[in-house]
C-alpha cells in the first residue's frame, strides 16, 4: 500500500491525540505496523527507575548538597539520596547544575528524577513540580520531582522520616572525626637521638628518589596519613601506610592484595607523587611545587587547579602556595565554589591546608630546623597586597585603640 506524506502525518497526529487522552497502554494498528500508546504515566516512574538501575539526581555543589571527597559523594542531601536509592535497590547518578533555574528546567524536561536540594515552595507556582521527601517545614523548603511523577513523590513521602537528616549529619561528623580512621598511633620518632624516624626509613630512602623528594618529607607525609600504621584504613577506603585509595592503587598497578604491604604501598605512593610532580610542572619552583603536590595528594589535583584559577583571576600568583592556599580555604564558601572559573565545586579546603601545614611542621622537626608557619589562616582573600608569613610570636599592631587612659608616672 502506498501512503502519501499527508496521510502519514495525519495518522501520527491521531496516535498522539489518542495516547494523550488515555492513561492505559494500548496498541494501535497503523499502516506501518503496531504502535504502543504507553504514555509516560506516573504509575511507572518508580518501576522505570528500578528497571534502569539508577536514579538521576539534580543538585548543586555545596557542603550540604553534594561534593566529591576522595572519590566519594558527600553532603547531607546526597547521602540521604543514597539511602533512598538503596531502599529502591538502585544507584545514584548525580547531575550537577549551575543554579536553581537550571535544576528546575532540567527536571521539567525529563533530564532528572529528583531535585535533592531544599527548594522554596514558591517555585511550585512557576514550575510544574511536586514537593516531597526531605523537608525543612519551618522554612517552607523541600525536595521536588516532576509534577507528573506522583508515584515517586508518594514513595519518597512514605519512606522519609524527619529524624533522617539528623542521623545523616551525625554520621558525617563521625566520618570526619579521628575515630573514622582505624589505626594505631605510633610515636613520630622511633629513636630521636639516633635519627631514626620509623621502622620504614629504609623504604622511604629507597623510593624517595622516584618521587624526587627528601625521604624525610615522605616520612612526614606518611605519619600524617597513617601514623606509621601499615594496617590503617579510613572510612573512605584509603589503605595502608600512605593511605592509597583502591582506585588509585589500580591506576598505579598496585594489587589490592598488596595494598597493606609496606613496601608496595610506599612504592606506589612514590610513583603517584612523581605523577603529581609532573602534572604541576607549571609551578617551576621545586619547593613550591611540592606544597601543591601535597595538597593534590590530599584533595585531588582538580580542586587545586580550581584554587589556582581563582588566584589568577584575583590578581594573585597561581604558582605560589601562600597566594593559592587562601582560595583553597575559599572553596568552602559559595562566593568561591560558585565562581564561573571553578569547575569542580565545593571542597573541604581547611582540611587540605591543615594537612599541608602539619606535614611542613613535621618535616621541619625531622630535619631539626625551626618551623615557620605560612600564616595561611590569617589571609583575607579579598585583599591583593603581598602576603607576609604569620608568626604568632611576632608583635603586631593593635587593631583598636585601648579604651583606658594610661597615666605616666
Taking CB atoms within 8 Å and a gap of at least 24, the contacts of 10-16 are none
Position of cell 585601648? 402
Contact criterion met (CB below 8 Å) for 372 and 361: no
What is the C-alpha to C-alpha distance for residues 262 and 12, in angstroms, rounded to an integer? Answer: 68
Cell numbers at 405, concatenated = 587612659
**Element spanning 361, H or E:** helix 349-367
Calculate the CA dihedral of residues 128, 134, 135, 136 and round it to 10 degrees: -140
Dihedral pair phi/psi, residue 231, rounded to 5°: -100, 10
Rounded distance between C-alpha atoms, residue 213 and residue 289, angstroms: 11
The helix (run of H) or strand (run of E) holding residue 309 is helix 301-313
Asked if residue 246 lies in contact with residue 237, where contact means CB atoms within 8 angstroms, the answer is yes
Residue the block writes with cell 580512621: 181
Cα distance between residue 186 and residue 232, in whole Å: 12
Q: How far apart are the first and last CA of the chain?
A: 118
- Residue 331 to residue 341: CA distance in whole angstroms: 12
Of 225, 263, 378, 386, the catalytic one is 225
Q: CB-based contacts of 135: which residues, under 8 Å, 6+ apart?
A: 118, 141, 142, 143, 160, 162
User: 316 in the Ramachandran plot: left (φ > 0), alpha (ψ -120 to 50) or beta?
Assistant: beta
State whether residue 297 is helix, strand or coil.
helix
225 part of the active site:
yes
Catalytically active residues, by annotation: 225
Amino acid at each position: 500500500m502506498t501512503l502519501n506524506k499527508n496521510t502519514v502525518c495525519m495518522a501520527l497526529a491521531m496516535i498522539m491525540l489518542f495516547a494523550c487522552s488515555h492513561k492505559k497502554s494500548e496498541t494501535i494498528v497503523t499502516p506501518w505496523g503496531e504502535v504502543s500508546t504507553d504514555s509516560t504515566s506516573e504509575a511507572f516512574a518508580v518501576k522505570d527507575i528500578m528497571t534502569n538501575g539508577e536514579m538521576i539526581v539534580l543538585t548543586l555543589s555545596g557542603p550540604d548538597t553534594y561534593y566529591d571527597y576522595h572519590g566519594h559523594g558527600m553532603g547531607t542531601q546526597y547521602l540521604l539520596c543514597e539511602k533512598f536509592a538503596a531502599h529502591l535497590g538502585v544507584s545514584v547518578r548525580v547531575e550537577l547544575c549551575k543554579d536553581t533555574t537550571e535544576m528546575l528546567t532540567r527536571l521539567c524536561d525529563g533530564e532528572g528524577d529528583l531535585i535533592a536540594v531544599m527548594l522554596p515552595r514558591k517555585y511550585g507556582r512557576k514550575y510544574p513540580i511536586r514537593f516531597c521527601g526531605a523537608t525543612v517545614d519551618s522554612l517552607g523548603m523541600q525536595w521536588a520531582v516532576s509534577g507528573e511523577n506522583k508515584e515517586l513523590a508518594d514513595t519518597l513521602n512514605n519512606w522519609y522520616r524527619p529524624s533522617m537528616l539528623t542521623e545523616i549529619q551525625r554520621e558525617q561528623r563521625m566520618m570526619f572525626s579521628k575515630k573514622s580512621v582505624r589505626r594505631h598511633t605510633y610515636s613520630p620518632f622511633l629513636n630521636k637521638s639516633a635519627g631514626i624516624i620509623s621502622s620504614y626509613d629504609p623504604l622511604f630512602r629507597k623510593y624517595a628518589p622516584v618521587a624526587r623528594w627528601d625521604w624525610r618529607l615522605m616520612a612526614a607525609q606518611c605519619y600524617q596519613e597513617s601514623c606509621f600504621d601499615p594496617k590503617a584504613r579510613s572510612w573512605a577506603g584509603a589503605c595502608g601506610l600512605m593511605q592509597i585509595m583502591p582506585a588509585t592503587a589500580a591506576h598505579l598497578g598496585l594489587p589490592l592484595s598488596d595494598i597493606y604491604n609496606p613496601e608496595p604501598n610506599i612504592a606506589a605512593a612514590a610513583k603517584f607523587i612523581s605523577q603529581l610532580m609532573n602534572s604541576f610542572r607549571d609551578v617551576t619552583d621545586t619547593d613550591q611545587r611540592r606544597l601543591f603536590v601535597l595538597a593534590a595528594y590530599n584533595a585531588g589535583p582538580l580542586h587545586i587547579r580550581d584554587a589556582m584559577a581563582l588566584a589568577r583571576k584575583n590578581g594573585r600568583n597561581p604558582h605560589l602556595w601562600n597566594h593559592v592556599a587562601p582560595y583553597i580555604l575559599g572553596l568552602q564558601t559559595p562566593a568561591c565554589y560558585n565562581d564561573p572559573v571553578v569547575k569542580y565545586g565545593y571542597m573541604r579546603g581547611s582540611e587540605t591546608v591543615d594537612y599541608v601545614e602539619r606535614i611542613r611542621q613535621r618535616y621541619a622537626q625531622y630535619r631539626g630546623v625551626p618551623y615557620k608557619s605560612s600564616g595561611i589562616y590569617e589571609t583575607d582573600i579579598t585583599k591583593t597586597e603581598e602576603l607576609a608569613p604569620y608568626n604568632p610570636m611576632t608583635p603586631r599592631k593593635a587593631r583598636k585603640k585601648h579604651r583606658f587612659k594610661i597615666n605616666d608616672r
